Chain A
Amino acid sequence: MEFLVGTKFNFLGHRRAAFILSVVLIVAGAISLLAHGGPRLGIDFQGGILMQVQFEQPIPAQDIRDALANVGLADSEIQHFGGDREAIIRVGEEAGGEDVTDEIMGALNDAHPGNPAEVRRVELVGPKVGSELRNRATLAILYALVGILIYISLRFEFKFAVGAVAALVHDVLITLGVFSLLGLEVTLPVVAALLTIVGYSLNDTIVIYDRIREDRRKMYGKSFVDIVNTSLNESLSRTIVTSVTTLVVVICLFAFGGEVIRDFAFALMIGVIVGTYSSLYVASPLVVEWQVHAEARRRRR
């Protein structure tokens, strides 16, 4: 079985439309990010306490809130988690010290003695550690981008590196934008997912760049636009097949991997889709734009 072989899609013909689409997506995300004052950070990055509690029987969130109000924790955020027996309770760091988990469990079991609760997960991050993790995550993404920029500059030309990194920034921005629009939290695992997206999207981009490098030798004398279009078409079946296999497992992870890892899988899902798109419509078209402008300038001289 084969598909997408011998295609002659004019990817570059639509590049302006694609740029507009990308810009619209990024701007939509950016507006949401600005309106919310940045990404919604999980406790990993701003400090705080998160508790996942499982009850024996279903319990309305309001009952949990009332129980917590008894110990002065009325401000905590309560959210059902993968069913109505389980809930996530989020408490700001200032609301209590190390003993707050003790207090919460005491309050829940006092208020609902017939429905005992079990601690499933506790995450406590001090404010200092939170800001450290924030710095580390930002640095990690920056270092990864710089490392990749250097590697691609060595293996290809600098303009290719710029195109690839622009595509990565594009992917990361859109994923963050989608998270902001949906009100999802950016946690450590989500940052790991962002870095994986960076690696994955690049994978796609490089396969195409490799093809361009090869076709440039083969198609000497043809215009750069034609060469890149040919390369995109020649590598299209591989791009789609790999994206499909990766997307399939990521969707399985999202659907069956459990609640704890769902946001992580969701970020990967967005990333794989956006990453495939950006390899076709952002990375290489940008190189083409650059080349076309450079050639035009040379001619003018």
Chain B
Amino acid sequence: MTSKMRWKIVLVVVVLIWAAWRASYTFSFFSLSEEQKAATPAEQLEALENKSLNLGLDLQGGMHLVLEVDKEGLPADQASDVMERALEVIGNRIDQFGVAEPSIQREGDDRIIVQLPGLQDEQRAKRLIGRTALLEFVPVETPDQTDLTIRAIDRALRDTLAAHGELPPEPAEGMPLSEAEQMARERPFSSRIRFSMQIPFFLEEDVEWAEEQLARLDLDAILPLDPDDPTRPRVRLGWDKETRTLQDEKEYRAFYVLAADALMTGSVVISADIRPGLDPDYPNAPGVSMRLTRAGGRVFAEHTGNHIGEYVALVLDGVVHSAPVIRSRIPAGTPASITGNFSDEEARDTTILLRAGKLPAPMTIVEERTVGPSLGRDSVTQGIRAMLIGGLLVVIFMLIYYKAAGAVAVGALAGNLLLIVALMSSLPVSPKPALTLPGLAGIILTIGMAVDANVLIFERIREELRNQKTIRAAIRDGYERAFTTILDANVTTLIAAAVLLRFGTGPIKGFAVTLSLGILASMFTAIVATRVVFDLITVKWNVKHLSI
């Protein structure tokens, strides 16, 4: 045995042991049942998962979103870092959502790719991520204006109801209406309102009714007009995001009459943090401290100075998230604080809101691919079934057609599959390549194509044997002659795979990855490893007849 051969044996054995060892993580991870997973300590499970093969979203179920940030119309200073902020905003929103291993990546100039594995509620995620974050600071109208507005709605609604015959009946002779009926006739809207701290509230069960009634009215024609610009109303309406329990222990939702024009948008917020002890009335409650830009600070200082005791609402996409009261003038340059009887969670939500609102550009979902967990599971089962049946047929064919040599090729095929799994689970690239459904198809295709190298070699050896060469010479020449052919043939397939890697998206990339790894691995297993086996057999046992 030559020393070159000895080295080759060592190389093949080491590579195959490494592949088996790496691939074993994947097999042990995926053979865990749900109960076993639950019983394993989280850290241990995570370590195992990190070392095993990544499943693509189309196999494990999940959501793939591509968002586009509309930069048009942004001032240059904002456009420069709008993508960084958009990434942060989306990151924040996804954190709120609590998905296990989200991935958020920037793509190109104006796109962001979000991947949420194992996601269950497609609609909720889309609403949360895809919405336009427009945060505004909007003054809540004075009680006078609120009153005027609500009375205007009352009048209009009474006319509308009367026109549709939906008002309670007129008082009949001798049958005076009860006070409640009288109110419902005269003030159909405000009769359902209860005021608290000068803010109107609706019972939670009345909210839907109120929304429906408001939708019937032409609000632009009803609401008090802007004295400076009589073509539009000076107020707008906004519901609170949360319900509140008032003294009578019932759930109410606040109905705000807001100024039509926002004081400023969320883009003036530089930072927002949770700080304890900001409010002497609630020394243990967390507060939110926010720093504003210079321009924002000036606007805020002027407004807070002139409107002490009034409310300012934090409005995100038309919904009021909170409406703190102005305690004192907040001078420009000093941090503003938002305090109250906050829970930790409320304080955290408010900071998220203030930060999220920094995104002044709308985002739209331009591409979505969601696969439900059940379909992903089906795909894995069916893919593996196709692989087993196809693999088995190929194995049977190789054993019949090439006998013992066929068995060597089958061994090489098994080594090839191990190597693909091992390489895919340990490639030091980020993000780690994932096994997708087309990728699984690529592996199945590799089974068919990987034996090709051995077919080429075996056919050559047979030819050489027919030319009366000795077994060892036939093997040597068979391998040598087949090698250039295999190389040429594989390079062209690799060109196609490289193009797919460059131009493909998501699942298609997964296909290109498994296809190229399969080809590269087959160059090793089908050429180097099988050669070692043949050489060993012929040198050690000095065989007279080659079963091929």
Contacts and interface: CB of A to CB of B under 8 A. Distances in A.
A237 B489 CA distance: 17
A160 to B, nearest CB: 11
Interface in A106-123: 118-123
A249 B496 contact: no
B455 A188 contact: no
Contacts of B68: 126, 128
B386 A256 contact: yes
A125 interface: yes
Interface stretch (A29-37, A71-79, A202-210): A202-210
Contact of A124 (B368, B444, B500): B368
A197 to B, nearest CB: 9
B365 A124 contact: yes
B451 A245 contact: yes
B122 A238 contact: no
Contacts of A133: 505
Q: Which of A2, A102, A261 has the most CB of B within 10 A?
A: A261
Nearest to B403: A1
A152 B492 contact: yes
Contact of B130 (A98, A192, A209, A235): A98
Given A129-B66, A129-B366, A196-B496, A248 B448 contact: yes
Contact of A192 (B66, B126, B511): B511
B382 interface: yes
A121 B370 contact: yes
Contact of A148 (B398, B492, B504): B492
A145 to B, nearest CB: 9
Interface in B497-513: 497-500, 502-505, 507-508, 511-512
A252 B389 contact: yes
A60 interface: no
A209 B489 CA distance: 10
Nearest to A127: B366
Interface stretch (B46-54, B302-310, B371-379): B371-379
Contacts of B126: 98
A189 B440 CA distance: 12
B438 A120 contact: no
A121 B456 contact: no
B318 to A, nearest CB: 16
Contact of A265 (B441, B459, B462, B515): B441
A273 interface: no
Nearest to B66: A129
Nearest to A252: B390
Contact of B367 (A124, A189, A211, A237): A124
Kindly list the 7 A-B residue pairs having the minimum CB-CB distance in the complex, ordered from nearest.
A252-B390, A246-B448, A258-B382, A249-B390, A199-B496, A199-B493, A126-B366
22 contacts: A121-B375, A122-B369, A126-B364, A126-B365, A137-B503, A151-B495, A152-B492, A189-B438, A195-B496, A202-B496, A207-B489, A211-B485, A241-B401, A242-B451, A248-B390, A249-B391, A249-B393, A252-B387, A253-B444, A260-B375, A261-B383, A261-B437
Interface of B: 58, 66, 68, 122-123, 126, 130, 364-372, 374-375, 378-379, 382-383, 385-387, 389-391, 393-394, 397-398, 400-401, 403, 437-438, 441, 444-445, 447-449, 451-452, 455-456, 459, 462-463, 481, 484-485, 488-500, 502-505, 507-508, 511-512, 515
